[in-house]
Amino acid sequence: MSCLFCKIIAGEIPSTRIYEDETTFAFMDINPGTRGHALVIPKAHAADIHDVPAEVLGDMARTAQRVARAAKAQLGCAGVNLVQSSGAAAFQSVFHIHIHVIPRYEGDGVRLPWTPTPGNKRTWRIYDRRQKATADLLTLENEVIATDAPLVLRHPSDHTKLRVLQPGQISRIEPLHEAVVRAGRIVFDAPPLEELRRRRVEDVEALDPGVRRLVNPHIYHVSLSEALWNLKQELIAEARRDNISQAQ
């Protein structure tokens, strides 16, 4: 079984379950568009709207309604979007049919299809000449980090703050992402727990002592590359233009 959602139903991958009956399963989205964003799926595997039996689709609709009512009662949302995407061209990424139940709030700024953070990204750890981790860096998925040129590290939220690392200050750059799911299928075998523990110990030991200390530690945040920062600013500017147009 390589389907991500089938593994969630089987309990092989953890999830935050909010409802379950004989034919359907509802759980919280790990990359939510808004507070309370949930997914409703059938227990029996079906790839998309063309594959699922009509009666099971009806069961999914009833469960989606139940989750939507709970969102209104418990979260006080002002509205709800139900989104079902079938096919890659329609933004389906896990090929086990599912319905997004997305609570909506006044001024939440979500646009469909939602992008909680801009772009497909990769994460890198930058080590200094002492072999200590000096920064984690988010870049666009296809971005190339030049090792022979200054590297600009943008603060994730404060436009007045940035760091520039010169080539001589960097000893190595480590990719942190592991491909786990492609086209809705598991492509990664998780290492044993002891191996994960060993890696975490090494990660902590690689941190600068100023970050590790308990009293007044240095802040260690994830920086944005110049390209990702620029994309973020473009999206913010676009959203502001849209808000101004709607207000006029």
pLDDT of 99-146, one tens digit each?
Answer: 999 999 888 777 776 555 556 788 999 999 999 998 899 998 878 887
pLDDT of 90-101, one tens digit each?
Answer: 878 889 999 999
Q: Which of 162, 237, 176, 167 has the alpha carbon at shortest distance from 206?
A: 176
Residue 245 has pLDDT above 80, yes or no: no
- Average predicted confidence (pLDDT) for the chain: 86
pLDDT for 118: 56
Distance between CA atoms of residues 12 and 18, nearest Å: 17
Distance between CA atoms of residues 80 and 69, nearest Å: 9
pLDDT of 142-181, one tens digit each?
Answer: 788 877 889 999 988 778 889 999 989 999 999 988 777 7
Whether the model clears a pTM of 0.75, i.e. scores above it, the answer is no
Residues spanned by CATH 3.20.140.10 within the chain? 121-236
Q: Which of 67, 154, 171, 71 has the alpha carbon at shortest distance from 118?
A: 154
The HSE-up count of residue 58 (CA atoms within 13 Å, CB side) is 3
Q: Is 101 exposed, middle or buried (0-12, 13-18, 19+ CB in 10 A)?
A: buried
114: left (phi over 0), alpha (psi -120 to 50) or beta: beta
Q: Can you tell me whether residue 72 is helix, strand or coil?
A: helix
pLDDT for 246: 55
pLDDT of 3-34, one tens digit each?
Answer: 889 989 998 888 899 999 999 999 998 878 88
User: Which DSSP string do the residues of 205-233 spell out, in sequence order?
Assistant: HTB-HHHH-SSSPPP--EEE-HHHHHHHH
Domain 4-104 has CATH 3.40.50.1370: no
pLDDT for 31: 77
pLDDT for 232: 82
Q: Could you list the active site residues?
A: 98
Per the listing, tokens 């979007």 go with: 81
pLDDT for 221: 72
Distance between CA atoms of residues 123 and 177, nearest Å: 6
Residues whose CB is less than 8 angstroms from the CB of residue 124 and which lie 6 or more positions away in sequence, other chains included:
136, 137, 139, 145, 173, 174, 175, 176
Residues spanned by CATH 3.30.428.10 within the chain? 4-104
pLDDT of 39-90, one tens digit each?
Answer: 999 999 999 999 999 999 999 999 999 999 999 999 999 999 999 999 888 8
The HSE-up count of residue 192 (CA atoms within 13 Å, CB side) is 3
Structure tokens at 105: 């709030």
Model confidence at 243, pLDDT cuts 50, 70, 90, reads: low
Q: Which architecture characterizes domain 121-236 according to CATH?
A: Alpha-Beta Barrel (3.20)
Q: Does the CA dihedral 119-199-30-75 come out positive or negative?
A: negative
pLDDT for 160: 85
